[in-house]
Amino acid sequence: MDRQAFEAMALEHLDSVYRLSYHLTRSPDRADELVQEVYLRALKSETWQNFEERGGGMRAWLFTIAHNAFYSDIKREGRRPTPVGEFFEESDGELTPGEASPAWDQASFDWDQVDDALKHAIEELKPEFREILLLWGVEGLKYREIAEILEVPIGTVMSRLHRARKLVADVLMADPDQAERLGINRLAGDETVGDES
């Protein structure tokens, strides 16, 4: 594949890469920076020339770069000394089998239109749960693809996804009116959430 075709294929996934970057960084400015980093890394000549389309294809490959770049930055920032003034300012501030298909069509997904209660429940998840839930539920990736992107065993993906879904459901089920409005059902003793059909 020539460079022009590679760039066109990579840019088709710009929205998805930004969406993942936003949910990793939780900041529009940092998400923009992460997206730039992803495409800078992807478009280096030694990188794009070695690209092989397999598994999840281009999108999964770009997600892997985004995930690795984000967590590399986190580790680098963790090793950096924190100025005393910055420390106090921060502390004072506001703190495979049988996989289900994605809940909606990723091409038409609009995070701004998601119910505020559901959005809040997802945003309150620990990052390792939130990332897997979004890769599966929003981006429509399979367990195996998520495992490859995050470099974790497939069993870890399955257990974290189960836990994330349960945590979100528990938050939403706390308000019966809200649960009914969102179409969430729970039978006595059943941990299944929502309508699986």
pLDDT digits (tens, 9 = 90+) for 60-103: 889 999 999 998 888 777 665 555 444 434 433 332 455 544 44
pLDDT score recorded for residue 3: 84
Domain ranges of the chain: 1-95, 100-185
pLDDT at 178: 65
Task: Identify which has the larger pLDDT, 49 or 35.
Answer: 35
Which ranges of the chain does DSSP label H, i.e. alpha helix?
3-11, 14-25, 28-42, 45-48, 57-79, 84-92, 116-123, 127-137, 143-150, 154-173, 176-182
**CATH placement of domain 1-95:** 1.10.1740.10
At 113-172, the pLDDT tens digits run 556 777 888 888 998 899 999 999 888 899 999 999 999 999 999 999 999 999 988 888
Token pair recorded at residue 140: 């429509």
Q: Does 14 score more than 90 pLDDT?
A: yes
The rounded distance, in Å, linking the Cα atoms of 134 and 92 is: 30
User: What is the sign of the dihedral through the CA atoms of 19, 24, 29 and 34?
Assistant: negative
Residue 184 has pLDDT above 70, yes or no: no
How many Å apart are CA 16 and CA 63, to the nearest integer?
9
Which CATH number is associated with domain 100-185?
1.10.10.10
Higher pLDDT, 37 or 180: 37
**DSSP letter (8 states) at residue 35:** H
Give residue 124's Cα distance to chain centre.
13
pLDDT value at position 146?
92
- Among 39-48, 67-76, 108-117, 183-192, where is mean pLDDT lowest? 183-192
CA dihedral 62, 68, 70, 72 (to 10 degrees): -150
For position 175, what pLDDT does the model report?
75
Residue 195 has pLDDT above 60, yes or no: no
- Extract the tokens encoding 188: 């006595």
